[in-house]
């Protein structure tokens, strides 16, 4: 069977979740609001930025400046430059997976490319990078994965495998009818029975080759 591997980026390929949420801590502290990075990671993994900001501004009853998101992106980019690392074991796993691969992310294209470049992962994916901002579809909408698969030349969902670390992305992969593997480092409960959870990237090649 042909296989197309569709990877999420943040938290799946690159260990960026804490840095992204640290950006929220830094920017909201400027407004006198104290956030907890661990709680942010648990609650918002995989969410669209605009929805996170809307939720936080509502929770703390604060109106964010118009340039808040742009300045947040600058902070995160600086954190990436100094601290971003690939997910442990991901390079070894990718080396053992000789299938067409793509990145499908809710993040903007410049952020995805920066992350892949800094972590030495760009060559695994080439130009096969799909951003929700370019497509106009955000997870958990399954059409983002359907679009990427078709653009890669895979028209049968059964030929595609989604690798995700957050429930929002897992839902998108599952509802697209694709085999979905959940890199579940935080042991979250997944309601989709066919989704396979795993805790370390060393397991990934075996799971994919067995699919």
Q: Which residues are catalytic, by number?
A: 8
- Quote the CA–CA distance of 168 and 47 in Å, as a whole number: 7
- Quote the CA–CA distance of 8 and 73 in Å, as a whole number: 19
Cβ partners under 8 Å of residue 60, min gap 6: 28, 33
In the 8-state DSSP scheme, what is residue 201?
G
- Quote the CA–CA distance of 41 and 188 in Å, as a whole number: 12
- Quote the CA–CA distance of 122 and 103 in Å, as a whole number: 10
Q: Where are the alpha helices (DSSP H) in the chain?
A: 17-29, 37-44, 49-59, 68-83, 90-95, 109-118, 122-125, 132-135, 143-151, 167-175, 204-209
- Quote the CA–CA distance of 1 and 153 in Å, as a whole number: 14
Any bridge partners for residue 182, and if so which? 164, 197
């Amino acid at each position: 069977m042909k296989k197309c591997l569709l990877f999420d980026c943040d938290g799946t390929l690159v260990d960026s979740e804490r840095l992204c949420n640290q950006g929220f801590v830094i920017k909201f502290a400027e407004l006198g609001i104290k956030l907890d990075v661990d709680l942010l990671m648990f609650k918002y993994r995989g969410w669209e930025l605009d929805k996170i900001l809307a939720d936080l501004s509502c929770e703390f009853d604060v109106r964010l400046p118009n340039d808040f998101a742009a300045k947040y992106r600058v902070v995160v980019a600086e954190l990436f430059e100094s601290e971003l690392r690939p997910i442990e074991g991901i390079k070894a796993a990718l080396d053992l997976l000789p299938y067409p691969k793509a990145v499908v992310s809710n993040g903007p294209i410049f952020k995805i490319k920066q992350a892949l470049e800094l972590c030495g992962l760009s060559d695994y994916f080439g130009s096969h990078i799909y951003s929700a901002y370019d497509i106009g579809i955000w997870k958990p909408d399954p059409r983002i994965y359907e679009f990427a698969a078709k653009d890669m030349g895979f028209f049968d969902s059964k030929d595609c495998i989604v690798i995700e670390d957050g429930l929002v992305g897992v839902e998108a992969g599952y509802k697209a009818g694709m085999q979905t593997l959940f890199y579940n480092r935080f042991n979250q409960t997944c309601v989709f029975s066919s989704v396979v959870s795993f805790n370390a990237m060393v397991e990934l090649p075996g799971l994919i080759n067995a699919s």
